[in-house]
Structures are given as C-alpha cells and as structure tokens.
Amino acid sequence: MAKRKITVDEIKDAAEYVEKESVVLERSDYLSTGSTMLNLALTNKWNCGFLPSHYYHLVGSSSSGKTFLSGTCFAESTLNEKYKNYKLIYCNSEDGCLMDMSALFGAKTAARIKAPAYDEDGNPMFATTVESFYYSLSDAMSDGTPCVFVLDSIDALTSDADDSKFEEAKDAFKKGKEAKGSYGMVRAKQNSEKLRKVMADLTRTGSILIIISQTRDNVGAMGYGPQSTFAGGKSLLFYATCQIWSKPIGNIKKTVDGNDLIIGKKIELAVKKNRITGYEHTVNTSIYPSYGIADLPSVIDYLLESNHWKKEGRSVVAPEFDFKGLEDTLIAKLESENREDELRMIAETVWNSLLDRATPKWKKRYE
C-alpha cells in the first residue's frame, strides 16, 4: 500500500497546534507561593506563582521569611490537585529550621515533606557540599517522579575541593608552614557546571527547584550599584526563571496589658528577574511566627495603597463587600463566608488595570 505524502500545509498546521499547546497553561498548572501579592508580582495572577519545570532563586537577609515562603509552597502543593503526586523535599543544610511544620502548614503537608535521604536508623541526611546537593537533586528526579525541591541554603554548603584545601591549610598551619593556593571559588564553578545539567531534569519531570541564598554585603559597591549580593556565582541568577529578594522592613507590635510585644514582621519582596512576564515588581506582606504568611491583610493593604479602597478614620470601606469597619472585622467576615478568594480576585483586577493603564498604547510594530 502506497504511503500518502504529507502536505506542507498539514505540517504547518501540526506545528502551529504543538506551538499553541506548549504555551497554553491553566492556572492550576502553576504552584502558588502562598502569597497573593508575590503571585501577582511573578505572574500578574492572584493564584499563580511558580511554573513547573523551572528553577527559582530566593535571596534574603536573616529573618526575612525565606523559610516560611518555602514551607508555604509545600502547603500549596498539598492543596493543588495537580501536585498531589509530587515529592516534597526539604534539604535543610543550615539545620536552622526548627519550626513546627504541622502546626504552620498542616499535618498532611508535614507528612509529605521529606529529607533528600535517610541513614540506616531513619535519621534525615542533608547535603553538606555543593556536589552532594546536586547528586541528591538528581536522585530525587531519577525515577521520573516530579518534585518540589528546596535547598535551605546554598550558603551552608562547602565543596569537596574546599574541604580538601581546608585540611591542607590546617596541616600546614600545624607545621608552621604557609598553605599554597586559595579556595572559595570552587562552589561558583560547581554551580555553573551542575546547575546547567539539572535544568534538563527539571524540564523532563516537571519539577520545581528553589534555592535559598543569604544576602552578603557587596564590599565592592563603593557607594554605587547594589549594596547587597549573594555567594555562589552568577549562574545562580543566570539559570533562574525568577529571582526574589526578601528583607524585613519593620516589626508588627501589639500591646497587651501595657506590654509592647513584637508578634510579626513586615516583609518586602522584590522580584529582580522575571522570565514569566518580564516585569520586576516589589510588594509587601507580613509574616507571623505563630501563623505564617498573613495573606489577607497584605491584600487589603494593597487595595488601600492603590486607592481602590478608602479609609475613614480606622474603618476600611470595601464597597464590593458592602462593608465599613475594622480590618480584622472584615477578615473575619470574609473567612466566615468563605469569600477570601473574592478579595484576591479584586486585587488581581486592580493590579492588571493599573498595569494596563500604565502601559504605552503605541501601535504594534510586529503583528
């Protein structure tokens, strides 16, 4: 039987179909960050944060909510049906996370969070070197099962070569000699080589990688340029789909029986690289150690700051909910009526309306 020749038009139609299918994503394909404002900064959508098959770089100073954000994305994985079969792996290399995951993110989430590996006695094993981190990440994706993998943080890792050089320097010191050469750049080289290799595995499995870095003072800034930087080399930024910087901008206080207590922190989240939309936005949220990310208050603050809502004295005026009263009362009303998402959708509408109005309406050069 003679084979039918495929026409050029059929090839074009097939290619066009594949191209359309490859770029059309449903909202549920994204993993929410747990912060409406950060979702908007990343994707212009209230419930869309991280894209599968991509790597994200989270840079921040101490007590800026980095670990809370990573834990929240694990909790969002439990809520999202598309992520129910994902492995949730937390590489706690700093060994600094002592929070009660179950209390903050739910028992189901806590039960799903695993270490990269366990020893014979069932104790968790975390990466201590850059090499062991990439090997454990590769192992996590080796069976084809997607994962959400968080490294907290890359600053806690040395490298095999650095460890060897340290021992050499120590031995030379004991002998009263000077060690040859220097160390410290090996991690940047390892990141450059190995991060490039794991990107293909992220794509193949649909996994999400989040690498946390601590901010460092940029001693070479000399009064100009960025005053903060991060260790580990430029590849951490180069391969990132988005880079997010977090920093505390103030304390949240409450007076109880005459005592001023610090019960949370206000956090600034700056998206400094964004391959999803191209926009670089800065937003604010709040984090309470006893609660986690206070999402609704940050959305209400945004609607007030954007002048969509008004305040009369201490009262918030929210016409969409036929409400005038205290912020806490509004939050209680929305939660009791299960209307939290309505608030978030209003924020998205306002966000995109302002963005649209700010965008030049020039004639398209290319159609």
* Spatial CA neighbour of 289 closest among 47, 71, 110: 71
* Spatial CA neighbour of 148 closest among 219, 230, 82, 194: 82
Q: CA neighbours within 13 Å on the CB side: how many for 10? A: 4
Q: pTM of this prediction? A: 0.87
Locate 81 and state its tokens. Answer: 């049906």
Q: CA neighbours within 13 Å on the CB side: how many for 294? A: 22
Does residue 180 surpass a pLDDT of 70? no
| 96/15: higher pLDDT | 96
Q: What is the CATH number of domain 28-293?
A: 3.40.50.300
Note the Cα 118 to chain centre separation in Å. 26
pLDDT digits (tens, 9 = 90+) for 254-293: 999 999 999 999 999 999 999 999 999 999 999 999 899 9
Delimit the domains of the chain by residue range: 28-293, 295-350
Does residue 165 surpass a pLDDT of 90? no
pLDDT digits (tens, 9 = 90+) for 94-115: 876 667 888 889 999 999 999 9
